[in-house]
Structure 1
């Protein structure tokens, strides 16, 4: 399980969940956000059990029963960060609202960063990606499962057409603007 960075403990700690379909750039953007903020980073894929990895590698979509223990492990990790007063960034597809509700547990200290992109761009990216266990054949199932976050979930929504560094900068700027506005 790769964890990078250890930010200072604070009572106003926050956890960002960088979400979106496979190939949207979640891991790259999340690592850059964490680096810029000096926060802990972890890729939610590291919480998958070997059976889930094998299933996805074979081109089979996970079902809710497959995802439940994975999401529970991520939710526990998020809660532990908040209880420790440690701000962090975690990658998790979090495609369905019900998944996000289980991850955020209604806490305003857990924020969604939704990387939104069109199917054609993401399909190109997946075709160029090597060494990842997620089969490009699962892209349609990812889009079929995707329930984009609604305004009531207070997401930071960013398009993925820009380079990852620029996307990360946009997120960090938005967080700073919200802090200044007292949100």
Structure 2
């Protein structure tokens, strides 16, 4: 929290009227987080709200019923952050979120010509080594630019009895594939 307060001080943000909430040029800093009610997204949004409240930031939580409603709020522009999770074994998922023309570039982040060039090259190269290096560079740049707040990794715990054989998972490592499962009756 001290680091956050130091950054606010550097940015000229403070609680000028001593009401417990910070302002910039007399305007309160307020954020709206939109999220769906599945997984741990509500808990993540509540955690952010609690932590940012300690810094003096008002946070409104807006839970929507499903993906269509989420997209509707995003299209309206009535939000500051989207609590969302998605995963894929295919790294081109990053292009959807961080390319200027990405269908899930909900932050509207544009203007990083280097990132845009790497994202484009990553889909054009046939060299696996070059592609892996590009996506490594892309991920590093995303983190350096703080384009995402990685909060948690999803975990999927599956218990398997010792008489079960052949359990494998999809490429993402999430879904068990049960078609070749064998139960040993011994």
- Normalising by structure 2, we get a TM-score of 0.31
- Normalising by structure 1, we get a TM-score of 0.31
